[in-house]
Amino acid sequence: MEVCNSCGLPKDLCVCEELDKEESRVVIRLEMRRFKKPTTMIEGLNPKRIDLNKIAQELKTKLACGGTAKDGYILLQGDHREAVKEHLIKLGFKDSSIEIQ
């Protein structure tokens, strides 16, 4: 049986990721990269507690775009701010803790 390093509960009963989703302050912003191409940047997720690669993969599949997860943020190609907010709410993040810039 695997045990969570943070709370000491078995992995099946661990609620650390759910608590982080409720407590985190997520910022979704649009950034213009090379050649004035828009990119959506998602910051404020704790990479030690929340699996950024999993969330990035789900978002890329749902939004049909390219992207990556690195250095504590998720980067998606294109302007997907509203769709990302809706998807994060479905994943368990609070609406009041998500800010769009």
Cα four-point dihedral sign 52, 57, 58, 62 = positive
Q: What is the pTM of this model?
A: 0.77
Query: Model confidence over 11-50: pLDDT tens digits?
Result: 777 766 666 666 678 999 999 988 889 999 999 888 877 8
**Fold of the domain built from segment(s) 25-100:** Translation Initiation Factor Eif1 (3.30.780)
What is the three-class DSSP state of 11?
Answer: coil
Query: Model confidence over 46-81: pLDDT tens digits?
Result: 887 788 899 999 999 999 999 999 888 999 999 999
Please report, for the chain, the start and end positions of each structural domain, with discontinuous segments joined by +. Answer: 25-100
